[in-house]
């Protein structure tokens, strides 16, 4: 990784009760993506958050690197007992990801932030997770 200007940049992580909220509004470079993943993992561990919501409605490109980051965040959070939901993916991005061969099997999705929060609450209420086998 380059030690360039990326060190100053960070994507803010908001805490809302038991959930952590991230809104990605910039074109993610690799350094920023890696920093976000590190920050999120640290914060889930530090706060004991039970859910992570990542809003990508402003994101216009998800390539395999960013896709892998989303997968890894979900997998790491799961190990730390938190559910991850990615919300607001644009149709063009979804079509492209499918064509690319990336289905993000381990990541929950929702249409928008409201639905995402509802999904996280439902996951907390139903620990058996019967409705969404993975």
In the complex, which residues of this chain contact another protein (CB under 8 A)? 1-2, 4-6, 27-31, 60-65, 67-68, 87-104, 109-112, 115-116, 118-119, 122, 131
Least distance in angstroms from the C-beta of 5 to another protein: 8
State the chain's maximal CA–CA distance in angstroms: 46
Q: For another protein, give the closer residue by CB, 46 or 101.
A: 101
Least distance in angstroms from the C-beta of 131 to another protein: 7
Q: For another protein, give the closer residue by CB, 48 or 65.
A: 65
Q: For another protein, give the closer residue by CB, 39 or 72.
A: 72
Least distance in angstroms from the C-beta of 92 to another protein: 4
Least distance in angstroms from the C-beta of 61 to another protein: 5
């Amino acid at each position: 990784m380059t030690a360039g200007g990326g060190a100053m940049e960070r994507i803010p992580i908001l805490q809302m009760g038991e959930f952590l909220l991230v809104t990605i509004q910039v074109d993610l470079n690799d350094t920023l993506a890696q920093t976000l993943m590190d920050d999120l993992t640290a914060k889930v561990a530090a706060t004991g958050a039970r859910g992570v919501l990542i809003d990508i409605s402003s994101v216009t490109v998800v390539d395999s690197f960013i896709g892998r980051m989303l997968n890894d965040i979900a997998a790491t959070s799961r190990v730390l007992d938190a559910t991850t939901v990615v919300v607001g993916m644009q149709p063009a991005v979804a079509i492209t990801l499918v064509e690319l061969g990336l289905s993000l099997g381990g990541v929950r999705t929702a249409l928008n932030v409201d639905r995402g929060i509802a999904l996280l609450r439902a996951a907390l209420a139903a620990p058996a997770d019967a409705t969404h086998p993975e």
